[in-house]
């Protein structure tokens, strides 16, 4: 992070602008990581005895720790996979309808839902005594609430994936629609059609690859978002496995004070994973720093 | 051709219902007197819960608190981000700045708050209204910077220089040229950062120590209490303002790019 | 960059080393009149478990307005359980903060233990409260909090005993002991579970005492004794786990969630730390009319809950005024009513003035909860705090993660 020592700031305004950025965006992260690191090494903290690697050893040898990392990746990737399929379908099939009128408005509605409300909603609808279960019961499809399939607080995180997908799909549907227009895909398709390509082939060879390629950075960023999710797995998840954010808070607030350093270790590992993913993203050719280009 | 068109219209209607159903459900749950298994419809509806809201209930206080925090965060982050992104964009190290701004943007707010809590205590900001605003700014400001980064192109820079040579002061350049040109983007940024703050839960709980009781905290408390009717009420309060705003601005939505 | 980091390291190291400055405590020299004077206009930030709407209503709609009216104290309540309280106070101590965010905390057991370990509580202050003369401090269930003497560092607030709750319309023969529980879950799979919270751990403690025999686990935490009997406990649980709700692969995260499952018919039995909860919830209309409560044999745990004042609170006077109100006969009487909260009182009835004695005796008799006499007969004392923390952890590793 060596900044050129020569003429750093051209004028006062620039100095303020950049310092503001450093103070609000860069410094906190650095300070936070330092604190977490020192705590995890036993250098600071009320119950620590001094520099030690024991907390790291304990954390890294804990199966739950690795399970949490794996589970976090699984949920994020499953969400983004499902979202891609659904939003591609919606943006292409309903391209006309979604541009105006009631459908055009309705697609924005889920974006007005915060994670905690989506989690609550899914719990209410999908639990074994939830609305869908009651409908099934009334229709005679199930005899008892326990027969209804486990869709929340379940081992595969179905409710969690569903909730995240519900939040992500409208966003990416709109995003794909926008990209479609920006990339002039309509014209490309017409050209392809005149050359004899069927609608399916147009989609397969032109539309989908172009959309996915252009959307790649945003898709990656959204995947990272989902990895850091807290409220949804908190309400719809199980005691184990847990996503990393939930694990960090749980370990931070334990009755055994000794696990607090482990919470910071989990936090550091999470931050490291994000840094690694972002670095890979920046190196990829598809990336440009502007969100909507 | 016609039949597929009709099929599509039908499925479009299904889509609309699927998208609007959650709002209707939350509203109904907030109005229900009792709604438990196996009833598909609530036993009856009542306005009592909503009317006690308008009375001296701390739910209304939470609404105002959330509003105050969100408006502050949106205003500060939008303008600070707009201002900063200009200098970051023109700086030779532009790519470095942009890369750096992504980290706080994508970092889980909860984990961010957990590692920074110590500093908030030391600065005497823990459990305070301003502490929560600052905490949320740490997430909203980078977002704002990223959003505006695309605005500062060569063209804008040249317009700026042109205005300067025509004798405009820096303030005039902002007021008469830059801000009007960025109007659409400023509005989008304000709305987005408002939502980021309005919807925030994890970071607010940690930094606010549970004392700064925004609407999202209330939803969580009601869920913990297993009082699902009140949770639905608080959720409706969270969700309805953005939807109403969206509804009245839908023409604008359809014009602007994301 | 390197020197910067070095300085930062040293700075942070020094911060953690320095002890928090203890303010000169003049409160010990003041008399109650002066304390009440000082409390006027102060705000009390209280942190408590808010998982029960009746408890919340009692605090928000009765206690808060009352202390405002009678003493000019503004009571503000934030949600947080024991572990959150410890986490917050600990972080404050680490940061060297001399003014705590919290003024009054609802605690007991292992929370009290940990707060004493890090010296985060103010005290002894209980004897300064005028109403403390009514406290039933000779009762071992009140004088000792998880086998620790309270020594004036926390004020007893309520006293309850653990009870099982069942729906008599769905269950004719609820399990009365460990062996019957095994038979019950096998006969009715999926209708029983344990919450992964304080109430659930109290249940496990009763089972642990059952395995160990009366008195074996009293006194300080003993690792070998714990190992010996907890192994049996986990074996037992893992054996009957497949017959639990969701095959024992997951457990409700709180007792309120469990009550919901009970009400929805997903499970037939629930449990509570409060023996009168069944009356309380039925009057509220949450539990069905057919709900009943009973005690497990050979006994269930009776414990008290308390309020304490953080050492670094800047509103100690007001906090003491609120604590005093909480143990006043009016507040305790109201709290004990099944239609309000149903929380047992910590006051000694003989010490009360006559009119209050008759009022307490006239509290609507518990209809569906176990009778008062059977409560004492089957009361077990709480175990040392480390048992609780170990149970929390080991339940996760030995049962949930298996």
Q: Encode chain B in three state secondary structure.
A: CHHHHHHHHHHHHHHHHHHHHHHHHHHHHHHECCCCCCCCCCCCECCHHHHHHHCCCHHHHHHHHHHHHHHHHHHHHHHHHHHHHHHHHHCCCHHHHHHHHHHHHHCCHHHHHHHHHHHHHHCCCCCCHHHHHHHHHHHHHHHHHHHHHCCCCHHHHHHHHHHHHCCCCHHHHHHHHHHHHCHHHHHHHHHHHHHHHHCCCHHHHHHCCCCCCCHHHHHHHHHHCCCHHHHHHHHHHHHHHHHHHHHHCHHHHHHCCC
pLDDT recorded at residue B197: 95
Residue of chain A nearest B136, judged by CA positions: A24
**What residues contact C47, with CB distance under 8 A and at least 6 apart?**
B210, C77, C78, C79, C80, C84, C85, C88, C102, C104, C105, C106
Residue of chain B nearest A260, judged by CA positions: B114
Strand partners, C45: C76
Residues above pLDDT 70, as percent of chain A = 93
pLDDT recorded at residue A164: 97
Residues above pLDDT 90, as percent of chain A = 47
pLDDT recorded at residue A285: 66
Is A293's pLDDT higher than 50? no
Q: What is the DSSP letter of C347?
A: B
Is C120's pLDDT higher than 60? yes
CB B185 within 8 A of CB B147: yes
- Chain C residues within an 8 Å CB radius of B213: 78
Candidates C16, C110, C400; nearest CB to A240: C400
- Chain A residues within an 8 Å CB radius of C15: 44
- The mean per-residue pLDDT over the stretch C375-396 comes to 87
> For C187, left (φ over 0), alpha (ψ -120 to 50), or beta?
alpha
- Chain C residues within an 8 Å CB radius of B36: 263-264
Provide the pLDDT confidence category of residue A290 given band limits of 50, 70 and 90: low
Is C280's pLDDT higher than 80? yes
Do B29 and A228 make contact, defined as CB atoms within 8 angstroms? no
Q: What is the DSSP letter of C345?
A: P
- Chain B residues within an 8 Å CB radius of C263: 36
pLDDT recorded at residue C12: 53
Structure-model confidence comparison of residues C126 and C214, the more confident one: C126
Digit-coded pLDDT (tens) for C64-99:
999 999 999 999 999 888 889 999 999 999 888 889
Is A283's pLDDT higher than 70? yes
pLDDT recorded at residue A6: 46
Residue of chain B nearest C266, judged by CA positions: B37
CB A134 within 8 A of CB B39: yes
Q: Does B6 touch chain A (CB under 8 A)?
A: no
Which single residue is written with the structure tokens 């500062």? B152
Exposure letters A248-268 (e unless 16+ CB within 10 A, then b): bbbbbbbbbbebbbbbbbbbb
Q: Does B139 touch chain A (CB under 8 A)?
A: no
pLDDT recorded at residue B257: 44
Q: Would you list the DSSP string of C242-278?
A: GGSGGGGSS--SSHHHHHHHHHHTS-SEEEESSTTHH
Interface of A with B in 143-202 (CB under 8 A): 145, 170, 174-175, 178, 182
- Chain A residues within an 8 Å CB radius of B99: 278, 282, 289
pLDDT recorded at residue A292: 44
Long-range contacts of A43-51 (CB under 8 A, 24+ apart): A43/C9, A43/C12, A43/C13, A43/C16, A44/C12, A44/C13, A44/C15, A44/C16, A44/C94, A45/A260, A45/A261, A45/C16, A45/C94, A46/A257, A46/C16, A46/C90, A46/C93, A46/C94, A46/C118, A47/A257, A47/A258, A47/A260, A48/A261
pLDDT recorded at residue C279: 87
- Chain C residues within an 8 Å CB radius of B126: 101
Most B CBs within 10 Å: which of C80, C95, C264, C315, as the mutation test of the B interface? Answer: C95
Residues above pLDDT 70, as percent of chain C = 93
Q: Does C6 touch chain A (CB under 8 A)?
A: no
- Measured CA to CA, the distance from residue C117 to residue C357 in angstroms comes to 38
Do C80 and B225 make contact, defined as CB atoms within 8 angstroms? no
CB A268 within 8 A of CB A40: yes
Candidates A38, A238, A257; nearest CB to C114: A257
Structure tokens given for B165? 């040579």
Is C2's pLDDT higher than 80? no
- Chain B residues within an 8 Å CB radius of A129: 36-37
Q: Out of A189-203, A241-255, B226-240, which region has the weakest mean confidence (pLDDT)? A: A189-203
- Chain B residues within an 8 Å CB radius of C45: 127, 211
pLDDT recorded at residue B255: 55
Residue of chain B nearest C55, judged by CA positions: B225
Structure-model confidence comparison of residues A196 and C129, the more confident one: C129
- The mean per-residue pLDDT over the stretch A179-191 comes to 85
Candidates C12, C190, C400; nearest CB to A44: C12
Of the ranges A151-155, A289-293, C367-371, the best mean pLDDT one: A151-155
pLDDT recorded at residue B258: 38
pLDDT recorded at residue C349: 85
Candidates C50, C91, C254; nearest CB to B118: C91
Residues above pLDDT 90, as percent of chain C = 41
Listed as ranges, residues in chain B with pLDDT below 50 are 1, 56, 256-258
- The mean per-residue pLDDT over the stretch C358-382 comes to 81
Coil, strand or helix: which one is C155? Answer: strand
Is C266's pLDDT higher than 90? no
pLDDT recorded at residue C352: 87
Interface residue ranges in chain B relative to chain C, Cβ cutoff 8 Å: 36-37, 58, 117-118, 121-122, 124, 126-127, 209-211, 213, 217, 221, 224-227
- Measured CA to CA, the distance from residue C353 to residue C71 in angstroms comes to 23
Provide the pLDDT confidence category of residue C165 given band limits of 50, 70 and 90: very high
Number of A:C CB contacts under 8 A? 75
Do B210 and C45 make contact, defined as CB atoms within 8 angstroms? no
pLDDT recorded at residue C6: 55
Do A224 and B106 make contact, defined as CB atoms within 8 angstroms? yes
Is A147's pLDDT higher than 60? yes
Is C354's pLDDT higher than 80? yes
Most B CBs within 10 Å: which of A25, A37, A139, as the mutation test of the B interface? Answer: A25
Q: How far is B220 from chain C (nearest CA, A)?
A: 10
Q: Does C92 touch chain B (CB under 8 A)?
A: yes
pLDDT recorded at residue B50: 85
Q: How far is C159 from chain B (nearest CA, A)?
A: 21
Coil, strand or helix: which one is A154? Answer: coil
Interface of B with A in 45-74 (CB under 8 A): none
Residue of chain A nearest C198, judged by CA positions: A255
CB B12 within 8 A of CB B1: no
Do B36 and C263 make contact, defined as CB atoms within 8 angstroms? yes
Mean pLDDT of chain C: 86
Do A278 and B170 make contact, defined as CB atoms within 8 angstroms? no
Q: What is Dmax (Cα atoms) for chain A?
A: 78
Up-side HSE of residue B91: CA atoms within 13 Å toward CB?
Answer: 27
Q: How far is A109 from chain B (nearest CA, A)?
A: 6
Most A CBs within 10 Å: which of C49, C81, C83, C257, as the mutation test of the A interface? Answer: C83
Provide the pLDDT confidence category of residue A291 given band limits of 50, 70 and 90: very low
Q: Does A23 touch chain B (CB under 8 A)?
A: no
Digit-coded pLDDT (tens) for A43-57:
888 777 788 888 899
Do B221 and C50 make contact, defined as CB atoms within 8 angstroms? yes
pLDDT recorded at residue C234: 93
Provide the pLDDT confidence category of residue C16 given band limits of 50, 70 and 90: very low
């Amino acid at each position: 992070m060596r900044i050129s020592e020569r003429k750093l700031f051209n004028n006062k305004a620039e100095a303020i602008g950049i310092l503001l950025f450093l103070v609000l965006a860069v410094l906190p992260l650095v300070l936070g990581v330092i604190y977490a690191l020192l705590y995890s090494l036993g250098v600071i903290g009320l119950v620590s005895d001094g520099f030690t690697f024991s907390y790291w050893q304990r954390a890294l040898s804990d199966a739950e720790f690795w399970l949490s990392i794996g589970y976090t990746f699984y949920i994020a990737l499953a969400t983004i996979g499902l979202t891609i399929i659904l939003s591609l379908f919606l943006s292409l099939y309903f391209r006309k309808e979604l541009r105006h009128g009631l459908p055009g408005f309705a697609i924005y509605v889920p974006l007005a839902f915060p994670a905690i409300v989506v989690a609550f909603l899914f719990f209410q609808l999908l639990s074994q005594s939830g609305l869908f279960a009651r409908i099934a019961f009334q229709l005679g499809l199930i005899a008892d609430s326990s027969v209804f399939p486990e869709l929340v607080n379940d081992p595969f995180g179905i409710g969690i994936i569903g909730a995240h997908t519900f939040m992500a799909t409208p966003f990416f549907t709109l995003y794909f629609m926008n990209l479609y227009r920006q990339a002039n895909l309509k014209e490309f398709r017409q050209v392809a059609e005149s050359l004899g390509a069927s609608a399916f082939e147009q989609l397969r060879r032109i539309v989908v690859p172009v959309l996915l390629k252009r959307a790649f950075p945003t898709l990656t960023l959204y995947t990272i978002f989902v990895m850091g999710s807290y409220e949804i797995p908190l309400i719809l998840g199980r005691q184990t496995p847990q996503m990393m954010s939930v694990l960090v808070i749980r370990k931070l607030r334990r009755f055994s004070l000794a696990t607090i350093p482990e919470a910071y270790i989990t936090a550091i590992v999470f931050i490291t994973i994000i840094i690694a993913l972002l670095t890979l993203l920046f190196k990829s050719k598809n990336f440009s720093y502007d969100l909507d280009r | 051709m016609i039949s597929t068109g009709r099929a599509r219209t039908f499925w479009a209607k299904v889509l609309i219902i699927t998208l609007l159903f959650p709002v209707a459900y939350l509203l109904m749950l907030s109005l229900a007197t009792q709604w438990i298994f196996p009833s598909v419809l609530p036993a009856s509806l009542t306005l009592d819960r909503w009317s006690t809201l308008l009375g001296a209930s701390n739910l209304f206080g939470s609404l105002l608190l959330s509003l105050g925090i969100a408006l502050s965060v949106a205003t500060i982050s939008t303008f600070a981000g707009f201002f900063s992104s200009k200098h970051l964009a023109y700086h030779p190290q532009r790519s470095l700045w942009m890369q750096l701004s992504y980290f706080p943007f994508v970092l889980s707010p909860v984990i961010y708050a957990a590692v920074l809590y110590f500093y908030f205590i030391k600065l005497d900001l823990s459990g305070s209204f301003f502490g929560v605003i600052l905490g949320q700014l740490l997430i909203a400001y980078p977002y704002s910077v990223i959003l505006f980064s695309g605005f500062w192109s060569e063209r804008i820079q040249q317009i700026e220089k042109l205005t300067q040579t025509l004798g405009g002061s820096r303030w005039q350049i902002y007021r008469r040229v830059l801000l009007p040109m960025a109007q659409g983007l400023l509005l989008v940024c304000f709305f987005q950062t408002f939502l980021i703050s309005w919807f925030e839960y994890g970071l607010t709980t940690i930094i606010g120590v549970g004392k700064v009781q925004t609407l999202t905290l209330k939803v969580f408390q009601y869920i913990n209490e297993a009082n699902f009717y009140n949770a639905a009420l608080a959720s409706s309060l969270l969700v309805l303002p953005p939807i109403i705003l969206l509804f009245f601005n839908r023409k604008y939505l359809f014009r602007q790019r994301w | 960059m390197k020197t910067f980091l070095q300085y930062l390291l040293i700075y942070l190291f020094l911060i953690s080393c320095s002890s928090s400055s203890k303010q000169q405590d003049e409160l010990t020299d003041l008399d109650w009149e002066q304390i009440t004077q000082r409390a006027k206009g102060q705000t009390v930030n209280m942190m408590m478990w808010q998982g029960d709407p009746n408890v919340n209503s009692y605090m928000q709609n009765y206690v808060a307005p009352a202390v405002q009216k009678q003493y000019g104290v503004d009571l503000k309540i934030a949600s947080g359980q024991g572990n959150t309280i410890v986490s917050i106070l600990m972080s404050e101590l680490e940061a060297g903060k001399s003014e705590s965010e919290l003024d009054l905390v609802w605690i007991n057991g292992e929370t009290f233990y940990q707060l004493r370990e890090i010296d985060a509580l103010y005290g002894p202050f209980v004897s300064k409260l005028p109403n403390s003369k009514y406290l039933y401090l000779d009762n071992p269930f009140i004088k000792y909090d998880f086998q620790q003497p309270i020594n004036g560092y926390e004020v007893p607030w309520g006293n309850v005993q653990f009870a099982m709750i069942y729906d008599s319309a769905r269950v004719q023969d609820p399990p009365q002991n460990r062996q019957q529980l095994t038979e019950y879950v096998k006969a009715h799979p999926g209708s029983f579970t344990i919450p992964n919270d304080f109430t659930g751990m109290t249940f496990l403690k009763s089972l642990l005492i059952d395995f160990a025999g009366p008195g074996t686990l009293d006194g300080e935490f003993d690792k070998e004794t714990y190992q010996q009997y907890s192994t049996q406990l986990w074996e037992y649980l893992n054996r009957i786990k497949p017959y639990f709700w969701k095959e024992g692969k997951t457990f409700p995260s709180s007792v309120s969630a469990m009550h919901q499952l009970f009400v929805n018919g997903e499970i037939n039995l629930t449990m509570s730390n409060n023996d009168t909860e069944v009356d309380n919830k039925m009057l509220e209309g949450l539990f069905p009319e057919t709900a009943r409560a009973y005690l497990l044999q050979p006994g269930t745990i009776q414990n008290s809950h308390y309020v304490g004042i953080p050492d670094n609170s800047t509103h100690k006077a007001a906090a003491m005024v609120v604590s005093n109100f909480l143990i006043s006969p009016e507040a305790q009487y109201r709290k004990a009513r099944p239609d309000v909260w149903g929380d047992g009182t910590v006051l000694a009835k003989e010490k009360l003035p006559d009119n209050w004695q008759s009022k307490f005796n006239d509290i609507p008799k518990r209809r569906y909860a176990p009778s008062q006499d059977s409560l004492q007969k089957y009361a077990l004392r709480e175990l040392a705090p480390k048992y609780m923390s170990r149970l929390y952890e080991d339940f996760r590793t030995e049962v949930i993660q298996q």
